[in-house]
Amino acid sequence: MGDAIFEGLARFAGIFVLVLLGGIIVVLFVGGLPAFRQFGAGFLISDDWDPVHQVFGALVPVFGTLVTAVLALIMAVPLAFGIAFYLTELAPLWFRRPVGTAIELLAAVPSIIYGMWGFFTIVPIMAEYVQPFVIDTVGDLPLIGDFFQGPPFGTGIFTAAMILAVMIIPFIAATMRDVFETVPAVFKESAYGLGCTTWEVMRSIVIPYTRISVVGGIMLGLGRALGETMAVTFVIGNTNRIAHTIFGPGNTIASIVALEFPESESGSLKLSSLLALGFILFVISFIVLAISRILLRPGAKA
């Protein structure tokens, strides 16, 4: 009887997750269907967002979501790898636990706190020191200089990506640290016995052994970056136009939904457009997960 009850509960839990996920998809799609019918495929490539004339497009928030998430990963993954590498291979034993605990505590900080910290601390530093310096030094370079132009307001896509990077570092670093510690000691000791350096052991033994889990941790951080709302809303600038520089203001799907949703009337085209954006964000997250699974399928190159 106990085994039967446990089997039933486990089966119910698995089915419940699928039903819940399917319900979310259906609600978002049905709610966004009027916007898809009204604007068609042009909804995905239009940069208009005009509630007065009831004209809406998804290009600006989708662009902001992808750019901020990618920039955040570029900044966060090397730092997270360095933290995990130091804690598992270089740090003395007495120092590993307090640093590891501090990293885990960073993951528990509410996102709105990160947003307030970014707005009151990071934005003034960016506006007064960082952005003017980068604009004056890198902005005049050929090819890449155009990406570092614009007025130094402090807010913008790059600032939002920095805040996101700080937020996802604890998730990626903690995951990497935990999986690095699962590598059998005999594997590393054998490599050291052959004369390998610490970095060679990490590159040739630890990383190939933990590749799937490492990528999973990075995908976890990417998922957090794609869906983050309040912290990004504080510092991204919240303008419905595509920024041509990384210092320019913009929007993400999560931030525009947070700002516009309270002012949307039930049954309005604006509310439908916001639900359509939520559906698009779900599709983007699904595509990212699918790509990661393809890269990690059996037979894929390490």
List the domains of the chain with CATH numbers: 2-295 (1.10.3720.10)
3-state secondary structure 106-149: HHCCCHHHHHHHHHHHHHHHHHHHHHHHHHHHCCCCCCCHHHHC
pLDDT at 250 over 80: yes
Alpha-carbon distance 253 to 228, whole Å?
9
* 55-60 own/partner pairs: CB under 8 Å, 24+ apart: 56/269, 56/270, 56/273, 58/253, 58/273, 58/276, 58/277, 58/280, 59/242, 60/240, 60/241, 60/242, 60/250, 60/251
Share of the chain above pLDDT 90, in %: 30
From CA 132, how far away is CA 191, in angstroms rounded? 48
pLDDT tens-digit readout, 168-222: 999 899 888 888 988 888 988 888 888 888 888 888 899 888 888 888 888 888 8
**Among candidate residues 227, 284, 285, the one with its CA nearest the CA of residue 256:** 227
Average pLDDT (219-229) is 85
Give the span between the Cα atoms of 107 and 101, in whole angstroms: 10
DSSP state of 202: I
Give this prediction's pTM: 0.88
